């Protein structure tokens, strides 16, 4: 495994790979790797000649009052995990190389970026699409892997790739959960013992929604109201949003349809967690 910090060096490696007719699978991450990331890496490994992982905590996607500084950076452990998975290249750029003084260019996917998490994290998705497009230009991947936990992010990136004719394929892989249902997230590290228990309410609320839908309920207000009640029983929980949305437009819908998404963002203490489930008829499972 080779660690690359220089942008031009990374680009040269990618170009060389393509000239050798090798395909590149890419997993962009902010580090603090968990089994969710590792699943993406294994898939990239399996489907491509070369597997590249980037680790970059992207300042541009954090709001001023958000957790950029305290975001976990267990870099040694991350490198070990990648090595074990047979990653070929780790791209580890410095912030001032990615955003040199005078940086001014941003990519925006309108409408999709202002909904759900976008309403609560102004500028967040603009930061995501900008850094992701930069990484695509530097790494020239054939297939890029994203986890479904950040489903809005994945949908927005798919839309950007389509609109800007970026020649890459986006694969969205299923959410990986603990046995108790908690969706894996680097931010779970922030949770206290009590909060860890309360955090289970996210997947439990999705499970309750599933049960209701499986009994034939399609009125999204009924489903959301049940979820809200459930979450509000937890002392440390505070809802940012719960919504049932169309999976293309991310707009709220009134009646559950096949392939719609149940999405939620809930603060557990000082940690903001997100989770979601895709509805697939006739029955679906969280």
**What is the contact surface with a second copy in residues (CB under 8 A)?**
7, 11, 15, 18-19, 21, 103-112, 129-130, 133-134, 137-138, 140, 159-160, 163-167
Smallest distance, a second copy to C-beta of residue 258, A: 20
Is the Cβ of residue 110 or residue 215 nearer to a second copy in the bound state?
Answer: 110
C-alpha to C-alpha distance for 53 and 46, rounded to whole angstroms: 14
Tell me if 33 sits within 8 A of 82, measured CB to CB: yes
Residues in the chain: 286
Give the shortest CB-104-to-a second copy separation in angstroms. Answer: 5
Secondary element (H or E) of residue 239 = strand 237-245
Q: Which residue, 191 or 250, is less far from a second copy as judged by CB?
A: 250
Tell me whether residue 112 or residue 277 sits nearer to a second copy (CB atom): 112
What does the buried/exposed string (b/e) look like for 173-199 if buried means 16 or more CB atoms within 10 Å of the residue's CB?
bebbbeeebbbbbbbbebbeeebeebb
Burial class (CB in 10 A: 0-12, 13-18, 19+), 253: middle
25/145 Cα distance (integer angstroms): 8
Q: Containing H/E element for 196?
A: helix 193-214
Tokens of 62: 């954090």
CB of 69 to a second copy, least distance (A): 24
Q: Which of 18, 37, 124, 179 is catalytic?
A: 37
**Would you call 37 a catalytic residue per the annotation?**
yes
Nearer to a second copy, 164 or 189 (CB): 164
Write down the least CB distance from residue 231 to a second copy, Å.
Answer: 31
Residues catalogued as catalytic: 37
């Amino acid at each position: 495994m080779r660690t690359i910090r220089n942008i031009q060096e990374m680009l040269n490696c990618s170009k060389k790979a393509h000239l050798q007719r090798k395909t590149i699978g890419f997993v962009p991450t902010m580090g603090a790797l968990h089994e969710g990331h590792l699943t993406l890496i294994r898939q990239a490994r399996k489907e491509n000649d070369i597997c590249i992982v980037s680790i970059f905590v992207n300042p541009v996607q954090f709001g001023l009052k958000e957790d950029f500084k305290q975001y976990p950076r267990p870099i040694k452990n991350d490198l070990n995990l990648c090595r074990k998975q047979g990653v070929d290249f780790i791209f580890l750029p410095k912030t001032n190389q990615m955003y040199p003084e005078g940086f001014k260019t941003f990519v925006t996917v309108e409408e999709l970026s202002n909904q759900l998490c976008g309403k609560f994290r102004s500028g967040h998705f603009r930061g995501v699409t900008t850094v992701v497009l930069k990484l695509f230009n530097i790494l020239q991947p054939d297939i890029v892997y994203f986890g479904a936990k950040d489903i809005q992010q994945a949908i927005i990136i798919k839309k950007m790739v389509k609109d800007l004719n970026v020649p890459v394929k986006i694969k969205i892989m299923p959410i990986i959960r603990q046995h108790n249902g908690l969706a894996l997230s680097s931010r779970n590290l922030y949770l206290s013992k009590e909060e860890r228990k309360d955090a289970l309410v996210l997947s439990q609320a999705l499970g309750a929604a599933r049960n209701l839908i499986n009994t034939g309920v399609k009125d999204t207000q009924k489903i959301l109201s049940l979820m809200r009640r459930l979450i509000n029983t937890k002392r440390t929980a505070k809802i940012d949003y719960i919504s049932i949305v169309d999976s293309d437009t991310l707009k709220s819908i009134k009646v559950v349809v096949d392939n719609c998404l149940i999405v939620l963002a809930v603060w557990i203490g000082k940690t903001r967690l997100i989770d979601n489930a895709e509805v697939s008829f006739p029955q679906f499972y969280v």
